[in-house]
Amino acid sequence: MAAPSLSDRTRRVLATLVREYIETGEPVASATLMHRSGLSVSSATIRNVLAQLEDMGYVWQPHTSAGRVPTDQGYRFYVDLLLESRRATRGVANVEARLRQEVGDTPFIGDLLSSTSHVLSEASRHVGFAIAPANEDAVFHRIEFIPLSGSRILVVMVSRGNQVSQKMVDIGEDVSQSELVQAANFLNTEFADLRLEDVRHGVRERLREERTLYDELLGLALRLASQTLETMQGPAAVYIDGASSLLEQVVQASGISPATLGALLRMVEEKQRLVRLLNEYIDGPGLTVVIGTEHNDPGLRPFSLIASTYFDGRGTGTVGVIGPTRMKYSRAIAAVDVAALAVARVLKDVNQSDSH
């Protein structure tokens, strides 16, 4: 919800300022706001409102004689305003029809989500992504245990096709790197090429057997596998489109360093980092918007992320966009809303026909 401490006049000035800055990329002057806000007030009154907004952290002034620019808090106010006035999504039927046309009557989910990421990138003019529901039929290829700090371990599980899942576990004891390597080697030899569910079953069975059958190292391997696999979902396939569009946007929007852009592009390339990021942010169905400094990762703070979950009748996936904080939020939010609904409709039809 938008901050209740702001008067209607102040809210209108701030919303107008954010819209103008998104359109032009230039600091917004009080004279512009006087004309664009629709308020019958003087330029001096607008300047007083801007001074208050600056004190409250919603805007800042690049130079003494310049207009104002929204802060991430200002963007958050604007986005919350958009979400409050969000209406029933229009255009779902058009996007659904386009997706069905592109992928045919019996679409492979990879083709459908690849098309969806392209549609999102095209509609928002930012990076579009689509993530499939977790794949419980994935085939186990290998597992790695990477020591972090103390008794915490990062578990990396790779399935056939190089789909990756990651999870941090705390085993409550210090284990050397060489022991972790040997534990992983045992599991990789024992369970390679089995379905994940079969690996879970095999680990449970071995743990039920007489403990003396296993030496300390193999016991560690089985405990690690059990602790990891019981709650780890299968890997999720990730489809991303529009990295070149992001590059153009960033070049036009000053203030984003090549190093920052590089960090984001690496995340886009690695893909599973994006899955981990979304797992941190999304705690329920519907739309999630993360703006600038709201990111946990400092390297992503020049960017905003808009994502929405979809349910395909069996599992939950995610679609969304990533772009600079100065993005057209109304357009991006609408694109993500529409894509989530369209993908869910197509996939539900596919899953229903598969079950008959």
Domain ranges of the chain: 8-83, 92-133+236-355, 140-229
Burial class (CB in 10 A: 0-12, 13-18, 19+), 84: exposed
Cut 0.95: pTM above it: no
Of 348 and 165, the structure prediction assigns the larger pLDDT to: 348
CATH number of 8-83: 1.10.10.10
Instruction: Spell out the CATH class of 140-229.
Output: alpha beta
pLDDT of residue 2: 44
| Residue among 65, 58, 75 nearest 31 (CA) | 65
Confidence label for 103 from pLDDT (cuts 50, 70 and 90): confident
Q: For 225, list phi and psi in degrees, rounded to 5.
A: -65, -45
CATH no. for 92-133+236-355: 3.30.450.40
Three-state DSSP at 325 gives coil
pLDDT digits (tens, 9 = 90+) for 156-177: 887 765 566 777 888 888 888 8
CA–CA distances in Å: residue 233 to residues 155, 225, 249, 316, 346: 13, 13, 35, 12, 23
251 burial type by CB count under 10 A (0-12 exposed, 13-18 middle, 19+ buried)? exposed
Instruction: Tell whether the model's pLDDT for residue 354 goes beyond 80.
Output: no
pLDDT, residue 1, reads 44
Distances (CA, A) of 248 to 164, 242, 243: 30, 10, 9
Question: Does the pLDDT of residue 212 top 90, yes or no?
Answer: no
The terminus-to-terminus CA distance of the chain in angstroms comes to 45
Of residues 61 and 248, the one with the higher pLDDT is: 61
Rounded Cα–Cα distance for residues 137 and 233 (Å): 10
Mean pLDDT of 46-61: 96
* Residue percentage of the chain with pLDDT more than 90: 36
- Distance separating alpha carbons of residues 245 and 331, to the nearest angstrom: 16
